[in-house]
Amino acid sequence: MPKSHTPGVPKLLRVLNDQAALKLLLEDGPQTRAQLAERTSMSKVTASQMMERLQTRGLVEVVGSKSGGRGPNASLYAAVPTFTYVVGVEVGPVTTKGACADFTGRIVGRAEIDVEGSTDPVAVVRRVVTDSVADAGIEMGKVGRITLGTPGVIDPASGDIGFSWNLPAWHRGLRTALNEEFAPAVAIENDVNLATIAEQRSGGAGGASDFVYAWFGGGLGLGVILNGGLYRGASGAAGEIGFLPVPGGDLPTGGVVTRLSKGSYQRVIGGDAVLDIGAKHGFDAAEPEDVLTAALAAGPEGASCLDEIARGIALGIVAVCVLLDPTVVVLGGPVGYAGGLELAGRVAAQTSQLAPVTPSVVAGTVVEEPIMRGAILHGLDAVRESLFD
């Protein structure tokens, strides 16, 4: 019988081994070859070969040594931070922020510009990207990926903006224009989806492969993780829960809802509604998250305010739970982060009263720049994946 030839298998195994080793070094820091061999269930010889290949490519370097008892000290290997860089951009209607991060995810450069009223999104992105890269003290040629986080619907087929409520100048064709402007590839992602990625990796989701992240602030949004990956829907509109019909959220006159309408759920528990609830209970505030902060600080006197906000949130959470039955519901956005564990507990209790579900509702923990953090992780994922294509 003729021999079976599978020349690609050894190469594929080497690629998978190298990916696994690099992932460990990036996530857990410096390690010896013996540690890598143990954690990847490979022989020390194989681990040594992996390190040689990764060193040759400039991906890892020796950063020190570790005593192992008898015999010489073992070399400590780590990912090379300067191998490449990514830029995350958080787009808002008033300001746009950029952050340049190295290969390990450490932010090394920042920029922020005022964009209120701007009608040239390409110029906005160009400036914030170049300013953050300049602040990092590197050349643009070292940047491997740029990821924009923006409100609105992103077409999953084209990767372009389909519609953005707060940013009318940001339109279809922008991604193409940006990719013509920059050498590194540019990706555009919904801002709540990026915050969801941040919570998935190091936040309240606890590494769950199926969970939802609910954003409550001026606007509302939902990030859905199914089988470990983001679910965007056929048109990218998955998670636009502001339009979820709920009790108390009257529909527009005539009952016709358009993209410019204020959705039913948005009317019940969007930013303006939270401010109204706060004022009714004696907690006047400039921002919706300030209502939560004041009500929590008031102790027992703030309980009724917190309960009313929790009831409004629960109307949407119960719909999500009976449809998707997620392992965890993470409350995020300015209101979710400000409410913390106290609000999460009240939402869980209210949800259980509305339907026979007992969701695990937790407070998000990536409080500082969750959208920016997610944009950087999104970019790094793409760069690291491309290394082994």
Of 45, 79, 113, which one is at a domain's C-terminal end? 79
Same domain, yes or no, for 233 and 300?
A: yes
Rounded to whole angstroms, the Cα distance separating 103 from 80 reads 7
* pTM of this structure: 0.90
Of 79, 95, 118, which one is at a domain's C-terminal end? 79
Q: Does the structure show a pLDDT above 90 at 182?
A: yes
Inter-helix orientation angle 288-297/271-280, to 10°: 40
Convert the pLDDT of each residue in 344-354 to its tens digit: 999 999 999 99
- Asked if residue 128 belongs to a domain, the reply is yes
CATH number at residue 286: 3.30.420.40
> Can you give the pLDDT at residue 386?
93
- Asked if residue 185 belongs to a domain, the reply is yes
- Asked if residue 288 belongs to a domain, the reply is yes
Higher pLDDT, 43 or 213: 213
> Can you give the pLDDT at residue 210?
92
> Can you give the pLDDT at residue 161?
83
What is the chain's mean pLDDT, rounded? Answer: 90
- 106-109 contacts, C-beta under 8 A, 24 or more apart: 106/81, 107/376, 108/136, 108/137, 108/138, 109/133, 109/134, 109/135, 109/136, 109/137, 109/138
Same domain, yes or no, for 181 and 247?
A: no
- Asked if residue 4 belongs to a domain, the reply is no
Task: Name the residue among 83, 202, 191 with its Cα closest to residue 145.
Answer: 83
Convert the pLDDT of each residue in 146-172 to its tens digit: 999 998 888 888 888 876 766 656 677
- Asked if residue 22 belongs to a domain, the reply is yes
- Asked if residue 71 belongs to a domain, the reply is yes
Same domain, yes or no, for 334 and 278?
A: yes
Rounded to whole angstroms, the Cα distance separating 338 from 309 reads 12
Convert the pLDDT of each residue in 105-120 to its tens digit: 999 999 999 987 777 8
Same domain, yes or no, for 92 and 172?
A: yes
Q: Does the structure show a pLDDT above 90 at 311?
A: yes
Per-residue pLDDT band at 295 (split at 50, 70, 90): very high
Averaged pLDDT, 185-211 = 91
3-state class of 77 per DSSP? strand
Count: domains in the chain: 3
Task: Name the residue among 312, 389, 385 with its Cα closest to residue 354.
Answer: 312
Q: Write phi, then psi, for 376 (nearest 5 degrees).
A: -65, -45
Same domain, yes or no, for 232 and 354?
A: yes
Structural domain span for residue 220: 207-365
Q: Does the structure show a pLDDT above 60 at 327?
A: yes
Q: Does the structure show a pLDDT above 70 at 49?
A: yes
Averaged pLDDT, 287-301 = 97
Q: Does the structure show a pLDDT above 60 at 9?
A: no
Per-residue pLDDT band at 3 (split at 50, 70, 90): very low
> Can you give the pLDDT at residue 362?
96
Same domain, yes or no, for 100 and 175?
A: yes
Same domain, yes or no, for 51 and 163?
A: no
CATH number at residue 49: 1.10.10.10
Per-residue pLDDT band at 83 (split at 50, 70, 90): very high
> Can you give the pLDDT at residue 253?
61
- Asked if residue 2 belongs to a domain, the reply is no
Rounded to whole angstroms, the Cα distance separating 348 from 337 reads 15
Convert the pLDDT of each residue in 223-247 to its tens digit: 999 999 999 999 888 999 999 999 8
Least confident range from 164-173, 296-305, 331-340, 369-378: namely 164-173
Same domain, yes or no, for 311 and 357?
A: yes
Residue 111: enclosing H or E segment and its boundaries? strand 107-114
> Can you give the pLDDT at residue 61?
95
> Can you give the pLDDT at residue 166?
66
Of 56, 79, 102, which one is at a domain's C-terminal end? 79
Same domain, yes or no, for 232 and 353?
A: yes
Q: Looking at residue 250, what DSSP letter applies? A: P
Least confident range from 26-35, 276-285, 331-340: namely 26-35
Same domain, yes or no, for 181 and 237?
A: no
- Give the pair of three-digit tokens for residue 364: 């998000």
- Asked if residue 355 belongs to a domain, the reply is yes
Same domain, yes or no, for 305 and 347?
A: yes
Same domain, yes or no, for 235 and 307?
A: yes
